[in-house]
């Protein structure tokens, strides 16, 4: 059986950016999800819109969108992409208690948008943490993962 090869490592073990020049342009989409858990008292303040820094969910949504657009500047071997759509949703979940964050990113290009979706979720979660840390420093960001991708050589993948 052939050994799996990392696409970002050359034959000498050096990091390199993958050449996507010969790949076909295809419609691509990725969805990522994660969450941030907090104490019930913090969740209640968030739910009632009483955080001193303002509208936590809207600010985190905008941060996630901005982060998806900046992914290639944050992750060294990611290609800069023209993104067609970014949708970041933050949903209060009393059972956690906390916030579930989901990001969907679409493009028509030669490489996928999985990293952009994951980055959007990560930065949105970090923004929630930043905005609630005055009342709780123990909030936990967790379970950030890709849940679906469409397009490209590997085709459609649903991880849920």
Domain ranges in the chain? 26-149
Give the Cβ contact number of residue 146 at 10 Å: 18
User: Quick one: pLDDT band at residue 1, thresholds 50, 70, 90?
Assistant: very low
Ranges of beta strands (E only) in the chain are: 26-37, 83-93, 98-109, 140-150, 157-158
Give me the chain's average pLDDT, please.
Answer: 90
pLDDT at 160: 86
- Mean pLDDT of the region 41-59: 94
For 102-120, what is each residue's pLDDT tens digit?
999 999 987 889 999 999 9
- Mean pLDDT of the region 137-157: 93
pLDDT at 2: 45
For 66-103, what is each residue's pLDDT tens digit?
999 999 999 988 889 999 999 999 999 999 999 999 99
Of 16 and 112, the structure prediction assigns the larger pLDDT to 112
Cα–Cα distance between 111 and 148 in angstroms, integer? Answer: 15
- Mean pLDDT of the region 139-146: 98
CATH assignment of 26-149? 3.30.70.640
- Asked if 156 is an active-site residue, the reply is no
| Backbone φ, ψ for residue 136 (5° rounding) | -155, 120
Catalytic residue among 22, 55, 130, 156: 130
User: Quick one: pLDDT band at residue 7, thresholds 50, 70, 90?
Assistant: low
* The pLDDT of residue 33 is above 70: yes
């Amino acid at each position: 059986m052939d050994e799996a090869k990392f696409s970002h490592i050359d034959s000498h073990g050096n990091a390199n950016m993958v050449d996507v020049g010969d790949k076909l342009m295809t419609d691509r989409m990725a969805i990522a999800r994660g969450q941030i858990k907090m104490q019930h008292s913090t969740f209640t303040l968030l739910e009632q819109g009483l955080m001193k820094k303002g509208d936590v969910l809207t600010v985190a949504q905008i941060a996630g969108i901005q982060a998806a657009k900046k992914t290639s500047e944050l992750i060294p071997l990611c290609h800069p992409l023209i993104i067609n759509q970014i949708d970041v949703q933050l949903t209060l979940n009393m059972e956690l208690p906390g916030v579930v964050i989901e990001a969907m990113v679409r493009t028509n290009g030669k490489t996928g948008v999985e990293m952009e979706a994951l980055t959007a979720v990560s930065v949105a979660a970090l923004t929630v943490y930043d905005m609630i840390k005055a009342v709780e420093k123990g909030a936990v960001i967790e379970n950030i993962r890709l849940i679906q991708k469409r397009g490209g050589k590997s085709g459609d993948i649903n991880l849920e």
